[in-house]
Structure 1
Amino acid sequence: MRQNPSYAMTDLAEIRRLVDRNPWATLVSATDEGLVASHYAVLLDDDRDDLTVVGHVGKPDDLIHGLGERELLIVFQGPHGYITPRWYGEGKAVPTWNFVTAHLSGVPEILSTEENLVVLDRLVARFENTAEDPRLLWERPNDADFVERLEKGTTGFRLTPTRLVAKRKLSQNRPDEVIETIIHGLDGDGPYRNPGLAAEMRRAQDARTAAKGDRG
């Protein structure tokens, strides 16, 4: 992803928030047969406060990606959507697409069986714990034999990125009044309704407004 200094996302806490809120990631590797991509849930490593992530792939995706032997690119995609030029006013304009995304690259470390079980357990808990009656990994009707057989069909990994490109393109190049119009349009009932993107733009706009106030 080509970086644009105007849209660069450099705040570690904001990138961690993006990763945490958008765990369904794309994994990309360059192999002797060409590019290969897979899609898996990837989480921040609970034991670290940087951008280290953990996850797993089903076998034989570990061999297809050369997991642990070559660089892996993990793409996290946040809110995104179409921006109509009618929100810019009466002047000449073309549409664009607003988005938030982060690319983490590095050679992943392969997890031990015990570490992988911890990650699998945490992955299930992350999404089940929102329910009143969660079905956690080690709870009945599952038993230890079932869970351990399940783990053998996966390969867990931990990746601490050695390269990072994070980008937040949210109409920062437009005047405040235009940004407010875009947010209102995305948060309304029209054909381009996108409340998730509207909320992300509001968060970024409020941060910029606060920064301007601090400088003033």
Structure 2
Amino acid sequence: MSTTSNEVMQKVDSVFQSQSFPKWVGSFLEKAFFEKCPSHDLQKNELNRYCITCDASICRYCITSGCHNNHKILIIYRYIYQNVVPLKEMAIHIDCDKIQPYKSNKKQVVSLTPLRHSGSGSLIECAATCNSCKRKLTDPDRFRFCSIACKDEVVQPNQSKCEGAFQHTEGTSQQKDKIEQPNPSRRKRSRKGVPHRAPFF
């Protein structure tokens, strides 16, 4: 990339960092969906809704029971085995500008997390990729991110937390490596012995 394009990208990033997402977005992205509802042992009780007011993943029976009356609720769909939300519904609550939408059942949806790589060339370093995870974008002139999580990472960077967690996991993995490295001179089991051919008759 040239120096001018780097400067443009830095300006774009600074604009995104000046914006902010509501606090519930981080919690929303960590929720598990499409599991069985623990409160309702009925058919079709998947947790495919999110109550913003209660900060909880809920099922259709949770809503009909009246526990979430007048609450803000998002419906979660599946697209290529990933959780997505309708763009129109999500745009009411957060700024979905620059997030690449996808079409699912004739609806524009945005992915909660990055979609899986579709091929070997989908993770590349160039201007036509997501600013966060480097996945290919269909229209890089209009979009900068492939998912809500990627934009959230740029808008509200938790780099210090991530670095601390990475250092912690790296330290523990190094300790495990030291502990788990077997002594080459000692074997748990003895060798079977010298193999012998069966006699020919």
Query: TM-score when scaled to structure 1?
Result: 0.20
Bigger strand share = 1
Query: TM-score when scaled to structure 2?
Result: 0.21
Name the larger-Rg structure: 2
